[in-house]
């Protein structure tokens, strides 16, 4: 039995990816609930996250190139855009 002390690098990498995905979903859903911005800006982070998930699913059918090119940048862009919209919305309320 492995403990979570870095003995298994695959398990550690998987755990980091799961945490990254959970944060991405959390931020995109929070941005989608904002009502004081246009609809397209609310759902752009969610759309980017879905594009990244679709590109990642292409690995299952042995087409890894789009996933390698698109998935990670789309995830980063989704988190960055959602964070920017959330911070801008919080700044408007203060």
Q: What is the pLDDT of residue 31?
A: 92
Render pLDDT for 69-88 as a digit per residue (tens, 0 to 9): 998 899 899 999 999 999 98
Could you give the number of structural domains in the chain? 1
Within a domain: 73: yes
Long-range pairs for 47-51 at CB < 8 Å and ≥24 separation? Answer: 48/74, 48/75, 48/77, 48/78, 48/81, 49/24, 49/25, 49/74, 49/75, 49/78
Residue 4 lies in a domain: no
Between CA 42 and CA 34 the distance in angstroms is 7
CA angle (54, 45, 28) in 5-degree steps? 100
Q: Is residue 3 part of a domain?
A: no
Position 46 in a domain: yes
Q: With bands split at pLDDT 50, 70 and 90, how would you rate the model's confidence at 1?
A: low
More confident residue, 53 or 9: 53
């Amino acid at each position: 039995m492995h403990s979570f002390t870095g003995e298994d690098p695959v398990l550690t990498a998987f755990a980091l990816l799961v945490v990254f995905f959970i944060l991405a979903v959390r931020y995109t859903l929070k941005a989608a609930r904002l009502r004081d911005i246009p609809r397209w800006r609310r759902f752009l982070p969610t759309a980017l996250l879905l594009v990244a998930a679709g590109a990642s699913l292409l690995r299952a059918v042995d087409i890894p190139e789009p996933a390698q090119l698109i998935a990670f940048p789309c995830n980063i862009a989704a988190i960055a855009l959602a964070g920017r919209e959330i911070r801008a919305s919080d700044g408007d309320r203060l």
